[in-house]
Each structure stands twice: as C-alpha cells, then as structure tokens.
C-alpha cells in the first residue's frame, strides 16, 4: 500500500509500505475515492461533520427532530461558525427539522452560506470578524428582529478549547444576556470532543442516506485536489494559509 507522510512544515513524502494486518477488534479499511462516480467524491464530505452537527442539535440540545416530532421550534436558533462543514450541515439539519429562524455567524464564507438561508423567515448572517462586543450586539439584534422571543438554543460549530480567545464564549454571552429570559438560561452546545453513543451514530447514518435519497440533505461543496496523494502538500498548504473557505478539499487516493 502507499502512505503519505507529512512533516510539520507540510512536506509530503509518498512511501510504499506493507499492508497492516488487523488485530482482534480491529478492521482493515481500504480508502479509495474514485473519479468515475462524482457522487462518491461528494459523499466523502458528509459522515463525520454531519454526525457531529446532528449530535449537537438532537442529542445535546434535544431539539425536535424530523423523524420524531411533527412540530417545530418557533424561537430562533443561533449557530456560530457556519463556514465549517459542521456548521453548514447544522443549517441543513435545522431546516429539515423545521427549526426557524436560523441566525448564524460566518467570516469569509458568509456569501457562500447565504444561499442556505431564507431571509423571508428572519434568518440572518452575522460577521464574526468584528469585535466580540459588536458580534454579540448583532446577534441579539437579529434575535429581536425575528420577533419570536428569545433564542434558547445555540450551537458552536467553530470554537475549540484552544481556539481564538476573541471568539470563545460569544454564544454564551449573546444568548445569556438577551432580553426576555425570565430567569431561565439558554442552552449552548459545543461540537468539540470525543465520540459517544454508537446507537445514535448508527441511527443518524441511516437518516443521512434517506435524506440524500430524498433531496433534503445535500453534500458540502468540494474541490478535487489534482494529482491524488501527490497533490496533498499543496492542498495542506492552502488550508494552513487560510485560502480555503466554505468547501472541502478531496484527494483521489485511488489514483495512486
């Protein structure tokens, strides 16, 4: 088999190595992304990001799901960092579950995200590249303009524990200091952390298949990296330099 070894300065070396032999409790997976069927390439963007988004919405926040509740959430939901694949899928899942209005924050990917929203239903995009004070004020203004009461739920799709300090806690501050809380506290879910609940993951994976077959769940935008593994170094350099927004880079490993 072939492997790509990546150094800290993003130099990529392609090596021929023995195929590993799985031990007890392990599974050997052959990674092949073929260009003969474009859908295979696109679906490579879905599993992890969509699972994490669904975990935040339906397990942590306990929001009404498409398959269990005929009702909807009439209060706004605020999603921070929708330029990430997790954030984008959170929008798609929220729409599928009839959760509106959807208020989101984004940076360079803001224009790409607008097509997922319905501004006639009071959806809104906030630029998080402003000061924290300004972002908080804009989120609260969008909640007020929606006219359906406080936002009780927030999903942070971007901030990790070691993330940029100016973005950490934006949702907690924006939702925790809004008008009309009447003593209750909004719930904010983060999507960083380890995986759990295999049953939940299995259920959602089947739902994603159903959603794609019926057209209400679409893939994240992709760009196919030219040259297979040989193009990996250039792709990683672009990611490191912040030149990739609102899409996933896909490597065609099967070309090696």
Is residue 51 within 8 A of residue 81, CB to CB? The reply is no
Q: Coil, strand, or helix at residue 21?
A: coil
For residue 164, what are its two tokens?
């940029």
Q: pLDDT tens digits for 192-233?
A: 555 556 677 778 888 888 888 888 888 778 888 888 888 888
Q: Which residues contact 173 (CB under 8 A, 6 or more apart)?
A: 132, 136
Burial of 137 (0-12, 13-18, 19+ CB in 10 A): middle
Q: Is residue 191 a contact partner of residue 155, using CB atoms and an 8 Å limit?
A: yes
pLDDT recorded at residue 204 = 84
Asked if residue 186 lies in contact with residue 103, where contact means CB atoms within 8 angstroms, the answer is no
| Angle at the Cα of 39 from the Cα atoms of 35 and 40, rounded to 5 degrees | 60
What residue spans define the domains of the chain? 2-45+219-255, 47-190
Measure the CA–CA gap between 96 and 152, rounded to whole angstroms.
19
47-54 vs 198-213: helix crossing angle, rounded to 10 = 110
pLDDT score at 39 = 41
Model confidence pLDDT, tens digit, residues 67-99: 666 556 778 999 999 988 889 999 999 998 889
Give the sign of the dihedral formed by CA 11, CA 13, CA 14, CA 15. Answer: negative
Stated as kind and residue range, the H or E segment containing 139 is: helix 132-146
User: What's 249's DSSP letter?
Assistant: E
Q: Identify the CATH class of 47-190.
A: alpha beta
Helices 47-54 and 85-96 sit at what angle, rounded to 10 degrees? 60
Provide long-range contacts, Cβ within 8 A and 24+ apart, for 228-234: 228/252, 228/253, 228/254, 228/255, 228/256, 229/2, 229/4, 229/12, 229/14, 229/253, 229/255, 229/256, 230/12, 230/14, 230/256, 232/4, 232/6, 232/12, 233/6, 233/10, 233/11, 233/12
Report in angstroms the alpha-carbon separations of 110 from 83, 95, 175: 7, 18, 21
Decide if pLDDT at 37 tops 50. Answer: no
Contact 31, 240 (CB under 8 A): no
* pLDDT, tens only, 112-167: 899 999 999 999 999 999 998 999 999 999 999 998 888 999 999 887 655 444 45
pTM: 0.67
Query: Which are the contacts of 201, defined by CB distance < 8 A and separation ≥ 6?
Result: 51, 195
Task: Report residue 131 CA to chain centroid gap.
Answer: 23
| pLDDT value for 7 | 83
φ, ψ for residue 54, nearest 5 deg: -65, -35
pLDDT of residue 246 exceeding 80, the answer is no
């Amino acid at each position: 088999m072939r492997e790509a070894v990546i150094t800290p300065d993003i130099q990529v070396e392609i090596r021929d190595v023995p195929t590993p032999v799985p031990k007890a409790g392990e599974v050997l997976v052959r990674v092949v992304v073929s260009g003969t069927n474009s859908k295979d390439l696109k679906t490579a963007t879905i599993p992890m990001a969509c699972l994490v988004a669904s975990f935040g919405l339906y397990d942590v926040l306990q929001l009404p799901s498409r398959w269990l509740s005929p009702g909807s959430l009439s209060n706004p939901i605020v999603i921070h960092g929708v330029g990430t694949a997790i954030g984008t899928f959170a929008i798609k899942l929220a729409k599928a579950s009839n959760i509106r209005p959807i208020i989101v924050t984004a940076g360079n990917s803001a224009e790409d995200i607008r097509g997922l929203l319905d501004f006639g239903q009071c959806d809104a995009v906030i630029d998080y590249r402003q000061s924290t004070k300004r972002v908080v004020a804009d989120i609260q203004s969008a909640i007020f303009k929606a006219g359906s009461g406080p936002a009780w739920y927030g999903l942070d799709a971007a901030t990790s524990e070691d993330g940029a300090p100016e973005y950490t806690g934006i949702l907690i501050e924006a939702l925790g200091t809004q008008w009309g809380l009447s003593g209750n506290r909004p719930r904010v879910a983060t999507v960083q952390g380890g995986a759990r609940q295999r049953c939940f993951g299995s259920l959602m994976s089947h739902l994603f298949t159903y959603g794609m077959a019926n057209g209400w769940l679409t893939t994240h935008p992709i760009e196919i990296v030219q040259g297979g593994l040989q193009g990996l170094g250039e792709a990683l350099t672009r990611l490191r330099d912040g030149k990739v927004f609102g899409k996933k880079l896909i490597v065609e490993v099967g070309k090696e």
